[in-house]
Chains A and B, each alone.
Chain A
């Protein structure tokens, strides 16, 4: 598509958004602010968007480092984090005790119970940050998740100031306001590097709604 046509489409989209915001101010409520994680790469656009769903896709090691960053934030800010673990794969021995004390671990045996558990926790609204980990769930299973599930989460979240991070192996979530592609260092020399350093070197590409779509190969 030529650049002029793309610009024209973007203009039309912006006008449409403005029209919706004027007619339905409740539906198009402004974002509830951002939550800085302390990880420079994740905070490049101001931090995690509150009252919104954020998809984190890419390598599974990158996803684990995002969890590490959010847990560090939970320790610092004094809140509890909900981890909905679709593959029941967390290894507690690999996490510092102070991180585990801040973690409500919900162990699920597949994506379906994980989505149900997420629905319950999102509607509850007591935990400010939820992380749904779908990263090592088979892709075939993830592709069966209906788009309406994500829309439902969007609707619930936009009336709260909670954060829902969805870790996926590939872009999967429909109409997501913010998508992050993450990649961790895996060179042999870095296998025993302090996790803090790995977080500092985490590669993150952030795409927010309205920007050019992207694709990460499987």
Chain B
């Protein structure tokens, strides 16, 4: 058997996600507009005489309170992921048939499985996420799709011939010319079509007719185009107006987390990173990534990290939306090694890191990693615990470590016999009594960003040890090894 999960009014459902709390309530007429015409309407709008293909003014003439939305690709992608996730709960062999439609191959399901119970479970699971779904179960993928289109909310097809015979021909979505032929022949249902001799009819109708016959035969198992990519755990919302306070953003983030962590838990995974994107009024985006010290799927711990960030966030423009993505990982993969001391309270530590980043900036807190270059002072900051399991040992360190001045201090250096003799900086002049150098370094000579530097380590008469650098004719004090 195959199961088809179909979200009716898919784009409308995507646009209406996270809007349960909006003042206009559930009973309003709602429509989706594309190219100036209505392409999806809800049941309430149908009752008010609003039909597909109308223009927005026509719809508003029939119902002044109608809410009209336009398509939101980010939310649609997010909703598709929810559906794929639900489908993967039924079978690992899953096809993303169309936007808002997935088909699962259940031929390897346990024997004696109750299809009705399974379909009810899917409907209930998505209803808890405020989503409406139609589930069709049948012997072929195409029949399952047809069943899902007719399901209210679920339909199980045990007798394929009886099911297809009762279908109107429009359910097969024939092309315009074919539809005209059916009308001319006086055919109304699929049963009428099946009563005609198959070979001669296909000869008259051509390739499309043959494809129609194979779809309704109940014997044609077309191969599924299986979903191979891991589902993404993301949610997004675009406000209809600019928001000036953090409350609506926080409210949505909590809802996002509740849903996304629920999905993670369903597949026994945890979140190891969060990616927050806040689109702003001037079309820029505030972006911030959070690494979770100990990956988790607990809402409270993750929410606290976001809360602390937003608490101290100062934006130049008002937010017009919010997006959240969780990066999933296996719970075991990101744990500390066996002999490492686990953190006492990982969630607390996650909050602490968020506080530090809020105080000092995102790039100011982390684990330093040297870049693959000989250019002095080049490094990058990585999140703590990223790559903590790497056990490579580097050669033993030599000498005192440098304390680098950022930025380097400009200085005047008197040179004699090609070596520094007197160094003047910070309004003092000191005579050099010990030195090592020059150490000449250069790189990127094949690019415009080429660099070359000559470094000296010098000991002053006052006991201080410094590193000097010469770039062209300019001398700088790069840092100190020892100052008394």
Identify the A interface with B (CB < 8 A).
Answer: 58-62, 64-65, 67-68, 77-80, 87-101, 103-109, 113, 116-117, 120-121, 124-126, 128, 135-136, 169, 184, 186, 188, 190-196, 198
Is the pair B376, A196 in contact by a Cβ cutoff of 8 Å? no
Asked if B482 is an interface residue, CB under 8 A from chain A, the answer is: yes
- Is B472 interfacial (CB 8 A cutoff)? no
Closest to A79 in B: B341
> Which bracket fits the contact residues of B?
35 or more
CB distance from A120 to the nearest CB of B (A): 5
Stretch of B55-63, B158-166, B361-369 with 4 or more beta carbons under 8 angstroms from chain A = B361-369
Choice from B355, B359, B368 contacting A100 with Cβ under 8 Å: B368
Chain B interface residues toward A at CB < 8 A: 337, 339-341, 343-346, 348-349, 352, 355-356, 359-360, 363-370, 376-379, 381, 384, 387-388, 390-406, 434, 436, 457, 459, 463, 465, 479-484
Question: How long is the Cα–Cα vector from A107 to B434 in the complex, in angstroms?
Answer: 31
Closest to A138 in B: B426
Q: Is the CB of A89 within 8 A of B403?
A: yes
How far apart sit A28 and B431, CA to CA, in the bound complex (Å)? 52
With A and B bound together, what is the CA distance between A126 and B388 in angstroms?
17
Besides A96-B394, A98-B392, A188-B436, 13 other CB < 8 A contacts?
A: A91-B402, A97-B390, A97-B392, A98-B391, A103-B367, A109-B360, A117-B360, A124-B349, A126-B343, A126-B346, A126-B348, A184-B400, A195-B401
Q: What is the count of residue pairs linking A and B with beta-carbon distances less than 8 angstroms?
A: 173
| B366: contacting residue among A65, A104, A191, CB under 8 A | A104
Inter-subunit contact A105/B365 (CB<8 Å) = yes
Set A78, A94, A120: member contacting B359, Cβ < 8 A: A120
Q: Once the chains bind, are B398 and A61 in contact (CB under 8 Å)?
A: no
Partner of B398, one of A97, A125, A194: A194
A153 to B479, CA, bound (A): 30
Question: Which one of A80, A93, A195 contacts B370 once the chains associate, using CB atoms below 8 Å?
Answer: A93
A–B pairs, 5, beta carbons within 8 Å: A91-B402, A93-B378, A96-B393, A184-B400, A194-B398
Residues of B within 8 A of A136 (CB): 403, 480, 483
Which A residues are CB-close (under 8 A) to B388? 101
Closest chain-B Cβ to A105's Cβ sits at a distance in Å of 5
Most A Cβ at <10 Å: residue of B337, B377, B403, B481: B403
For B339, the closest partner residue in chain A by CB is: A78
The reply to whether B340 and A107 form a contact with Cβ atoms under 8 Å apart is no
Nearest neighbor of A103 in chain B, beta-carbon distance: B367
Q: A41 vs B188: C-alpha distance in the bound complex, in angstroms?
A: 97
Chain A contacts for B404, CB-based, 8 A: 89-91
Contacts of B481 in A (CB 8 A): 60-61, 64, 186
A59 and B436 contacting across the interface, CB-CB below 8 Å: no
Q: Which residue of A lies closest to B344 (CB)?
A: A126
A93 CB to nearest B CB, Å: 5
A101 to B369 CA separation, bound complex (whole angstroms): 8
